Structure 1
Amino acid sequence: MEGWFFYYLFWSSWVVLTFLIPKENPNRVAYSCFVLVSIILSNHSIKIVYWDFNLTVMFWILCCMVALSSLTISILLYQICTSLLVMLFYCIFLLFELYDPIWVFVDRKWLLTIMISVIAILLNSNGKWRVITAFLGIGMGEILYAYVLYTTDILITITNPTFLDIGALIGVTILLWNGLEKVIHHLNKLYDPQTHLEKEKQRLG
């Protein structure tokens, strides 16, 4: 069923954020609201010019732009370039799939999830900006794809349940990778011989 991954992962995330994350966490309320509003808007759309826009993708794009507005010019330009790369990759992938679907030998959701997650992870070291540039990129990529099809007299709804599944899977994949990096970093600090040597020197000195 299309959209199942989105609802399952986002409801699970909301439960974790609301009931399991400590209240002292400064980002808990903002992230909970983001997840809940995304779920609420997912069944609604608005017509703009020729296309029906799902409100969730518009909400994602708006939130990403608000987050980007707080950056300095140099970092902002870098994050915009990263989002543009994700956008172009997403749009080109869909166009190739439309032109020659036989080469897509695995479900589109999983291929796009893996490839876009890899792009976001390689181009950003910060977990928050990985998610933001990925969401902004796929949202703009969906709009670009709809525009390209419009030039050939094909109208589509911008963001269907499959798109929401892809967005949710990308977000979870990036978050899991961020968690893995933190675990590895913690283990390195815990078992680093140099660190133990320095602690021993401090104890003896």
Structure 2
Amino acid sequence: MPGILFLFVAWGIWIIATFILDKNDPFRFPAAIVSLMLIILHTKSFAIYSFHIGASSFLLLFSAYWLVYQGTWLKKIYLFFSVMIIMFGYAGFYLLELYDPVWVLVDRKILLSGGLFMIGWVLYPASLLYRYAAVVIGSLHGEVFLSVFLSKWKIPYTIGSNEYLDVFALTVSALLTVHAAGRILFAAKRSLEGKVKGKKQMVH
């Protein structure tokens, strides 16, 4: 069932943001609100001319742009090129699959989310926020490109459909899991270094 992975991840983020995150965390309230609104909007779509658009895609784009709008011009230029890379990579994968589906041996959701995760990590190895923004903006612009391209052959394609939301959910889950694991390892390393330093001071 398309969208079930997205709902699972969105509810998980809402629960963590609402009940587990520190109340002083600046991302606690936005994460809870956005995840809840995405859950509400994920079944809604509307048409602009001949294009069908999932309502949740607008909220995702807004959240991504909101995270990066205060960046420097240099960061914005780099983001632009990053978005272009992700957009053409995303659209190219779909068109290759459409032309010759035989080469796609694994579930396309896993392949797409894995590709988005790796490209996002390569482009932004040090910033989770920019990594998220680049993946969301790039993939959704890829959806728009696909919709425009396929419309020439009268092939229906919904921008930001539930299938896209599943890919988005898998990608975000991977990004957050690796980020959390990195923070845990860093905290454990600092704690271990502190204990070693304390023992050395006791010896001296």
TM-score, normalising length: structure 2: 0.91
Structure 1 residue 69 corresponds to structure 2 residue 66: no
Go from structure 1 to structure 2 and tell me whether the alpha carbon gap of 1:192 and 1:122 turns closer, same or farther (over 3 Å shift).
farther
Work out the percentage of aligned pairs sharing the same amino acid.
25
Q: Which residue of 2 aligns with 1:135?
A: 136
Go from structure 1 to structure 2 and tell me whether the alpha carbon gap of 1:19 and 1:73 turns closer, same or farther (over 3 Å shift).
same
Aligned residues: CA RMSD: 2.1
Deviation, 1:114, is 0.9
Unaligned runs of 5+ in 2: none
User: What secondary structure sits across from 1:47 in the alignment?
Assistant: strand
Unaligned runs of 5+ in 1: none
- Within-5 A mapping of 1:29-40: 29-40=29-40
Q: Which residue of 2 aligns with 1:161?
A: 162
Go from structure 1 to structure 2 and tell me whether the alpha carbon gap of 1:202 and 1:142 turns closer, same or farther (over 3 Å shift).
farther
The Cα offsets for residues 34-65 of structure 1, whole Å up to 9 and x where unpaired, read as: 11111111111121121110010121112222
Q: Which residue of 2 aligns with 1:7?
A: 7
User: What secondary structure sits across from 2:52 in the alignment?
Assistant: strand
The Cα offsets for residues 77-130 of structure 1, whole Å up to 9 and x where unpaired, read as: 112221221111110000000000000000001011111101111211111221
Number of residues paired by the alignment? 203
Query: Aligned equivalents of 1:78 and 1:51: distance in 2?
Result: 29
- Within-5 A mapping of 1:80-119: 80-119=80-119
Query: Aligned equivalents of 1:28 and 1:80: distance in 2?
Result: 28
Tell me, yes or no, if the aligned pair for 2:90 and 2:112 is still in contact at 8 Å. yes
Query: Aligned equivalents of 2:202 and 2:137: distance in 1?
Result: 48
Query: Aligned equivalents of 1:93 and 1:145: distance in 2?
Result: 11
AA aligned to 1:27 is F
Go from structure 1 to structure 2 and tell me whether the alpha carbon gap of 1:203 and 1:133 turns closer, same or farther (over 3 Å shift).
farther
Deviation, 1:73, is 0.2
Q: Which residue of 2 aligns with 1:179?
A: 180
Query: Aligned equivalents of 1:187 and 1:23: distance in 2?
Result: 23
Does 140-149 or 63-72 show the bigger shift?
A: 63-72
Structure 1 residue 188 corresponds to structure 2 residue 177: no
AA aligned to 1:133 is A
Tell me, yes or no, if the aligned pair for 2:53 and 2:161 is still in contact at 8 Å. no
Deviation, 1:155, is 2.8
Does 142-151 or 97-106 show the bigger shift?
A: 142-151
Query: Aligned equivalents of 2:155 and 2:42: distance in 1?
Result: 23
Query: Aligned equivalents of 2:119 and 2:108: distance in 1?
Result: 16
Q: Which residue of 1 aligns with 2:52?
A: 52
Query: Aligned equivalents of 1:203 and 1:80: distance in 2?
Result: 55
AA aligned to 2:11 is W
Deviation, 1:198, is 9.1
Q: Which residue of 1 aligns with 2:127?
A: 126
Stretches of 4+ moved more than 3 A in 1? 190-193, 195-204
Deviation, 1:185, is 2.1
Tell me, yes or no, if the aligned pair for 2:64 and 2:136 is still in contact at 8 Å. yes
TM-score, normalising length: structure 1: 0.91
